[in-house]
Amino acid sequence: MPTDPDNDRRTIAFTADGPALVEGPLELVTADGRTILCDRCVVALCLCHRSAIYPLCDTSHRRHRRTVE
């Protein structure tokens, strides 16, 4: 996909043990075709699939910390 230098770029920040943070507002299209409109300035996307509101993060990952062996 070619890039357009005149378009504003979005930043996606991957956190160490949590969600991906995306600069909003944005329109999110899920795998099943649903469209979610997010008006926040930063949107947290779930990467662990534990969220009750997946694909958005509800911080469920905090209750399931990985143990270091």
Residue 28 pLDDT: 93
Q: How far, in Å, CA of 5 to CA of 34, rounded?
A: 29
The DSSP output letter for 44 is E
User: Residues with Cβ < 8 Å from 6, sequence gap 6 or more?
Assistant: none
| pTM given for the model | 0.73
Residue 57 pLDDT: 92
Q: How far, in Å, CA of 23 to CA of 42, rounded?
A: 5
Residue 18 pLDDT: 83
Residue pair 64/50 in contact (Cβ under 8 Å)? The answer is yes
How does pLDDT run across 26-62, given as a tens digit for each residue?
999 999 999 999 999 999 999 988 899 999 999 887 7
How does pLDDT run across 5-28, given as a tens digit for each residue?
667 788 899 988 889 999 989 999
